[in-house]
Amino acid sequence: MAALRLEIVTPDQVVLSSDVEYVGAPGVDGEFGVLAGHIPLLTALSIGTLVYRIGNKDYMAFIAGGFAEVADNKITILAQAAELAENIDVERAEKDIEGNTPGHYFVEVQLRTIAMDTWASLEHEMKYKHKIKNPEMIGKELKRVADELASCDVSMQTLRHLIREED
């Protein structure tokens, strides 16, 4: 398959510059996908998860709005903020909430994105790849994910409480 160049850029840095096979992004009018040979496109992005595929593996990045431009087998994401999923530091995000630092909404969305991505990955493994066949193993994984979701909910409740105190 022909390569598609993906660049994710914020005002501070180039977050990613890589050849990929597919990009799925959260547009303001709904999610959209891009493959090599896509027609030119310029669209606004909403806050959410951007998915990109290299080989047979999907990767994720969190983006906080911005714009996407597709032209000549290249997609450029110009985002206000962006972070690759593997670089999101949950402890830092929770400290930001506890410390009442700016960007509460951004942190809440990051935590929710981590939880949703974890759940979606587990569900995909169980349903489509059938890598988790042992029912006991499935139960343990579901408990682990439920614990992560509960942790995110506690963090989000703390965040909402702090935001209410600011108002």
Q: How far apart are CA 109 and CA 61, in angstroms?
A: 12
Q: How far apart are CA 125 and CA 128, in angstroms?
A: 6
**Among 154, 137, 92, 143, residue whose Cα is nearest residue 118:** 143
For residue 15, what pLDDT is reported?
Answer: 95
For residue 91, what pLDDT is reported?
Answer: 73
For residue 144, what pLDDT is reported?
Answer: 67
For residue 28, what pLDDT is reported?
Answer: 84
Count of C-beta atoms within a 10 Å radius of residue 158: 16
For residue 42, what pLDDT is reported?
Answer: 92
Q: Is 100 left (phi over 0), alpha (psi -120 to 50) or beta?
A: left
Q: Which residues of the chain have pLDDT under 50?
A: 166-167
Do residues 81 and 63 make contact, with C-beta atoms less than 8 angstroms apart? yes
Q: How far from chain centre, in Å, is Cα 77? A: 13
Q: How far apart are CA 76 and CA 14, in angstroms?
A: 11
For residue 6, what pLDDT is reported?
Answer: 97
pTM of structure: 0.59
For residue 17, what pLDDT is reported?
Answer: 97
For residue 133, what pLDDT is reported?
Answer: 57
- Residue 131 backbone phi and psi in degrees, to 5: -80, -25
